[in-house]
Chains A and B, each alone.
Chain A
Amino acid sequence: MGKTIAEKIFSQRSGRDVRAGDIVIAGVDFAMMHDVNAPATIAYFESLGSELQMPKEKVSLVLDHFSPCPTTIAANTHRKLREFAETHQLRLFQPGDGICHQLVIENAFIRPGSINAGTDSHTCSYGAFNALGIGIGATEMAVVLAAGSCWFKVPDTVLVEICGKLPDHVTSKDIALHLIKQVTEKGAIYKNFEFCGDGISELSIDSRVTLCNMVVEMGAKSAVMPGDAKLAAWLQERGITDFHFVASDPDAAYYSIVRLDVSGLKPQIAISPNIDDVVDVDEIAGKKIDQVVIGSCTNGRLEDFAAAANVLRGKHVAPGVRLILGPASRSVYHQMITSGIMESLLASGAVINPPGCGPCAGLHGGLIGDGEAVLSTTNRNMRGRMGSSKSDIYLCSPVTAAFSALKGSITGPYDEQGV
């Protein structure tokens, strides 16, 4: 019987012939920690008194959730992390450099066939590179630093076959929300998602990152995209040529198979406060919104802001709507400026946050008050996540966010005639 991509990667990296359900120890190819969980990691690591076993170039520390620091407590946390990075000569990204996952992606730290760990649940984003990205806790990361490896249970795999070309104004975020509706938030606990199909070939690498990013919201451990011509070109453009794609065997055994034809997919909205309460946008059209957020590790890339700018160009957001943008990195921010997108969005009334996580987790940069509703391209909408307990969070794509910001209420795409 053949193997899934996950079974192959865990077999290769553990040196054993393993299947779903097996427990293995495998080398970790890249380790990322950020300013929410790294403080505990470095304290535990120091208490172990161990040498750093992870090669320095395979570790990154990112200051992104408090970017820049909104409290003195955060500032003092950052001081400790800087000291640790300096002591151990580790790569440190400063506030304003960007969100951890975006930086890992832009710096091309992820290789096909690799196992990567991060102290963040959206580490699953790295699956876009035909690799495994696995979220772990602060304590676990301390031992990864001290041991250079980690124990893993090889996951079962849910195969998701996407076919068809997305209609205009519909994005990979809509595919993600639609998939979450089908599978539900408890429908894929511990599973790896393996994506395939012509619908995936159509997606840009950035769009694949968005889709992988959201699998954790169904309980998944990780996601993996195929190695194809588009990914090969992405890697080669960055001077990376020594890679080997991992493909599943035709007779691999899957936990379940989901087939989605996205050629007729409508823009999706996840209704407050449940991530899997997803509807076509028309079913909730007209819901008044006070704030729109476009950004985060889910949808904070240039193609997201370009799509939003295409909708907003020459127009202004509706009265009473606050449009907050969170470019996922300094590089995205810069490209927004040089391309003219930044100027266009500013003219449309946008507020631009420094690159970082900000409002997604209610940390800073645009929280919402009692009775308010925010429409956001982020990834979680549980009660109180982005501010007041008495507020609502709706999730969507950057395109839907832009149309809705213009209208002042949740809406699907419409043309000049209002159709």
Chain B
Amino acid sequence: MRGKIHVVGDNISADHIIAAKYINKVAGIKEMLPYLLEEVSPGLAEHIQPGDILVAGDNFGSGSSREHAPLLLKESGLSCVIAKSFGRNFFRNAINIGLPLAEVQWNKMNSGDIVEVSFSAGQICNKTTNESFNFPNLPAIMEKILASGGLIPYFQKHKSLLL
């Protein structure tokens, strides 16, 4: 995938991505878009074009187990999320709903840069700065889940968990 990046900082929790207070106050995920990352980057959803990539620092998606967080990021049009480290629940939830993630020790990335991500090669390449960074493969079961498009399609196909 290749896209324009939006860079955010460290310790952005699942609550920062979408606050719990909107649940059952607005009808669904689409209606939550205006509140995406509202305490970090208000109105961000309006600036995301399909195929853009979010780049975050450490501990992205920490805390809450709510899937609304990765679902909303996917709904906004982002193709994937890159971060230096992820909250464990968010990491699993994102793969389960089919949002690709790359855990990468990146530096010198700025909003507006164009970045290419190759999951097969395990590498991201900032086309604006010409810097590349490698990242490790997902555990095998997560690669299989993501390849199926998420945990539900994976389980529908296999009818059981296969390591």
Contacts and interface: CB of A to CB of B under 8 A. Distances in A.
Interface string A44-59: 1001101000000000
Contacts of A66: 24
Contacts of B10: 186
Contact of B27 (A73, A185, A219): A73
- Helix, strand, loop or mixed for chain B's interface? loop
A176 interface: no
Contacts of B59: 185-186, 189, 219
A382 B155 contact: no
Given A150-B161, A385-B20, A71 B25 contact: yes
B88 A140 contact: no
A399 B13 CA distance: 28
A139 B98 CA distance: 11
Given A48-B152, A140-B96, A380 B15 contact: yes
B15 A146 contact: no
Contacts of B96: 137, 139-140
A120 B23 CA distance: 14
Given A47-B152, A189-B59, A23 B64 contact: no
Interface in A182-198: 185-186, 189-190
A140 B155 CA distance: 10
Q: Identify the interface centre among A121, A138, A151: most chain B CB within 10 Å of its CB.
A: A121
Given A151-B141, A221-B88, A48 B156 contact: yes
Nearest to B62: A219
Contacts of A384: 19, 21, 38-39
Given A139-B93, A385-B15, A121 B163 contact: no
Interface string B21-36: 1011111000000000
Interface in A98-123: 119-121, 123
Given A47-B152, A151-B161, A119 B65 contact: yes
A138 B16 contact: no
A256 interface: no
Q: How large is the interface on B (under 10, 10 to 19, 20 to 34, 35 or more residues)?
A: 35 or more
A73 B24 contact: yes
A373 to B, nearest CB: 17
A384 B96 CA distance: 28
B63 A380 contact: yes
Contacts of A302: none
A185 B97 contact: no
B62 A185 contact: yes
B24 A74 contact: yes
Q: How large is the interface on A (under 10, 10 to 19, 20 to 34, 35 or more residues)?
A: 35 or more
A135 interface: yes
Interface in B127-150: 139-141, 150
B67 interface: yes
Q: Identify the interface centre among B11, B63, B65, B88: most chain A CB within 10 Å of its CB.
A: B65
Nearest to B40: A383
Nearest to B25: A71
Contacts of A203: none
B85 interface: yes
Interface of B: 10-11, 13, 15-16, 19-21, 23-27, 38-39, 58-59, 62-67, 85-89, 92-93, 96-97, 139-141, 150-152, 155-156, 159-161, 163
Given A48-B152, A219-B62, A380-B15, 17 more contacts: A23-B139, A23-B141, A36-B66, A44-B152, A48-B155, A69-B24, A71-B25, A77-B24, A136-B92, A139-B151, A142-B151, A143-B151, A149-B161, A185-B62, A362-B20, A380-B63, A385-B15
Complex A-B, nearest 9 residue pairs according to Cβ-Cβ distance, in ascending order: A362-B21, A361-B20, A186-B59, A137-B93, A74-B24, A139-B96, A135-B65, A383-B39, A73-B24
